[in-house]
Structure 1
């Protein structure tokens, strides 16, 4: 259909002037967000690609996409990168990996790189966006796993709340009710959703969550260790921990062992992600598996569609998760004694 569609068709469908459509395509930052999104939806629906714009982008294209992650040292992102790279290379794209380091200024820097045509698009895996950018025109972007509720952007994600509830129910099924949760940074949407899943599962089981058993971390090994110290300082007994990622879970195991507690004899632990940390630690970690490489594959496919103008602004793909049961969880002690809180 694209060959028979012209700019007047887009304008008529969107209910705007031809000049507004032209401005949206050439200078999107100058168009109100709601108008811009309406025009781009019509462009995608009609398959419209203006000849001049197509020539412009062929001249300017870098054939490079940036994958911007929260923390490049986290092995979770390496498997995602493999999936992105597999699809990108077969489509003639190069992939650069950027490290946001949870710093809004660095996110701003990489977005500017795309705006200045040093790359064609940006895959965002940082959990947040600088506030000053949320209402500004954005370059071609796709979000992976850590959706941004204030923006309509193509997104690949998982059901974080459902997965967290699944992990908590596993511990409940083993007889644990005093279950601590090591969360990620709040108010990041992903962290909030996993906290909600933990609370939901406990509430449904008739074991209302004790807020003193929720400790916030930053997804690092060190924050998992610090969380165990904080739980002990609060003096609230617990027999199990659900951590928001594998690194924090392993940090918690290390700290519990240093305090003389055994996993899973004294404390059962569940992580999240199923990274190399999960299989390399002692004992091997029960965890929620995310399909990391497949996430990379799908997010790069969305990016290619986005760059071709064939993708709706709010396209969303939900990926499956599963619980992988290993050796870090065991039935609660028959007497219900919360050993960890007594050490």
Structure 2
């Protein structure tokens, strides 16, 4: 009965949102169809049960929630925004940005309100065509009586554009800060090095083109510490003619195996748990790398796919946030503006398109 209730309530909540935006869409998958409703969808359902979804205020709240997904601000991380949700006017934020498998997204939100307020945070994967609704992939909320901050961490399973919606409940608002950041999902496997030390790439030809390179080679002095790139356990340690001294880690979270080869020394045992940054060996050139400078061969094997390019799991992304360079003391207050050429732009940048000029 409870499962049936969830399916029915979810369909009702989605139909209320879809009526103003997406129309009748096919479900992305059977799993998507039968999932439990998100906090936002459950709130829409509660509005319907209370008779508020047919009121002008309720319809405005639903409309701005769908508009935030249909017409989001296009940006990329790192990104920071500070602003104000007016309590008497339904409002929502929407952002669209690219995200790759191998990257980790972190969204931090702080809400300063004089009243207890729920704040809904929803992440969607953009559909491959415009005829289908975005697919919810993760949801969170700031709840009354709890902390006024929330942090969402997400790793995508596929490359694509993603949509982030942030919306307070009806008749609630306040000052907000949104920070969106991306970083590689893996700890870099050679201590003190970055992706700039990679000298041979996934797919490079080997043996006069008879095979392809199933990993990346990270060059560093002999004896440089090699560290675990993820929380995992050691599934195998061995010495082989090709890889020399090798370590295999099993990463259950990502359903993947991680391969370290040509080690000068192994400092871990089989079945041992490891955490990002734990030293497990040292750089060398054992196996078929005896004639090359010391380096770590680092490979990633995803179950059901085989060898995968680890580049995006290791590539160091820009991380410095641009400071907010405007006066924030008046956020949420009415002010009188004097002067000419006061422009409103579609995004917080001088490069943003001008949408209006204040009289």
TM tier relative to shorter chain = under 0.3
Greater Cα radius of gyration, structure 1 or 2: 2
Larger RCO: Structure 1 or Structure 2 (Cα < 8 Å, ≥ 6 residues apart)?
1
Greater helix content: 1
Q: TM-score, normalised by structure 1?
A: 0.27
Q: TM-score, normalised by structure 2?
A: 0.26
Greater strand content: 2
